Amino acid sequence: MSGQRLRVAVRRVHLWLGLSVGALFALVGLTGSVLVFYPQLDGAWHPALTQVAPARPVSWQAVYDALRRDNPARTGAWRIEVTPSGGPIPVRYYTPVETQERDFAPLMLWLDPHSLRALRTGFWGDYPTTWIYDLHYRLLLQKPGGTALGIIGIAMLAMLLSGLWAWWPRGEGWQRALAWKREASSSRRLYDVHKWGGVGGAVVLIVVTATGVLLDLPDQVRPVVAKVSPLFGTPQAVVTATGPTLPLDALIGRAEAVLPGSALAWIETPATATAPLRVNLMVPGEPSRRFPRSNVWLDPYTGRVLAVRDERRDSGGDTFLAWLHPLHSGEALGLGGRWLIFVCGLLPALLFATGLWRWLIRRKRREPLPG
């Protein structure tokens, strides 16, 4: 096949991929832009949370005691988030009986750091930001939806790469490929908008789409990565109840001493009387502040350290997996990276609209594709 015929064939592939998965790509992009700042957006939808003065609780043990006092029937693990700025304390309970038929629908609470009373409660997926998250991540179809979206994401990635390949100038054709024809037909103007939107955001869109595919297909991706590089396995530690547990703050202090210089991110209380306490910490250099990978597991009765994961000592495979979500959300590149992802999340809608509009014009006028 000659180079020109191959280019025409690739354009056809790009066109039909765009017409078949372009609308879904636009939806995923728009919801992704919303989710870049979803904690802030969620707070704006619930102003009662923003009216609480930033503060830390008197102790983390007091927070845990308040949760058990107000939720006596919920005897499993509580996951308490430690936000950098203080204020309302986000908490998750992963095994509520009310949503046990759903794949992922924890109880979400926000506690007043002063009174330790719940300011807000709700189940994941039942309020706007988490509904959008489930739409973006799993198309509201739980785990099968995530798998389907991961597979469709491969087609989206092929659409991006085929469009870039078909546009890529050959030889000395850069000036012509980058030209913007102001006095051209409506079809050509749409092509220029489509071209510049795709070329301008190509690198970011390819990275975000590729990381999205990998995040949607963990059951398929992890075994492949593990064949190349060993992955950390969650310790299956079992402890023996020997009396009352140590105060939570003392246990946290022991965990922080194991990883000096780290920042406390999450506290996961024991799920049963024989389960360990898990303290999630961010060590310097981790790509995610909110969801770091470093952990210390402790015996809640004796304070003995049972296992440690220091992200700085992770294997290459674990490091690769740790960077997927922070790159996908832009968190790894700070506030500027998040704004970049926000803007690029709007591009799929622009590309779909201009591509579809131009295709309809060409069908009506029978115009050839630009060379």
Q: Are 354 and 194 in contact (CB under 8 A)?
A: yes
pTM (2 decimals)?
0.91
Between these two residues, 369 and 302, which has the higher pLDDT value?
A: 302
Where residue 371 falls among pLDDT bands split at 50, 70, 90? very low
Q: Which residue has the higher pLDDT, 266 or 166?
A: 266
How much is the average pLDDT of 291-299? 97
Position 181 pLDDT exceeds 80 = no
Q: What pLDDT score was predicted for residue 362? A: 80
- Give me the pLDDT at residue 102, please: 94
Encoded amino acid at 59, one letter: S
**b/e sequence 118-133, b meaning 16+ C-beta within 10 Å:** bbbeebbbeeebbebb
Per-residue pLDDT at 235 exceeds 80 = yes
Residue-level pLDDT at 39: 85
User: pLDDT-based confidence at 185, cuts 50/70/90?
Assistant: confident
> CA nearest 328: which of 291, 283, 295?
291
**E strands, the chain, in order:** 78-81, 89-93, 107-111, 118-123, 263-268, 277-282, 294-298, 305-309
Given a cut of 80, whether residue 357 has pLDDT beyond it is yes
Residue 123: strand pairing partners: 107
Percent of the chain past pLDDT 90, that is, above it, reads 77
Average pLDDT over residues 139-167: 95
Residue 297 structure tokens:
């597991």
How does residue 2 score in pLDDT terms, banded at 50, 70 and 90? low
pLDDT tens digits along 88-127: 999 999 999 999 999 999 999 999 999 999 999 999 999 9
Mean pLDDT to the nearest integer, 31-60? 88
pLDDT higher than 60, residue 245 = yes
CA atoms of 40 and 310, how far apart (whole Å): 29
The string of DSSP codes covering 10-51 is HHHHHHHHHHHHHHHHHHHHHHHHHHHTHHHHHHHH-HHHHT
| DSSP designation for 183 | T
**Band of pLDDT at residue 169, cut at 50, 70 and 90:** confident
Condensed to tens digits (0 to 9), the pLDDT of residues 216-229 reads 999 999 999 999 99
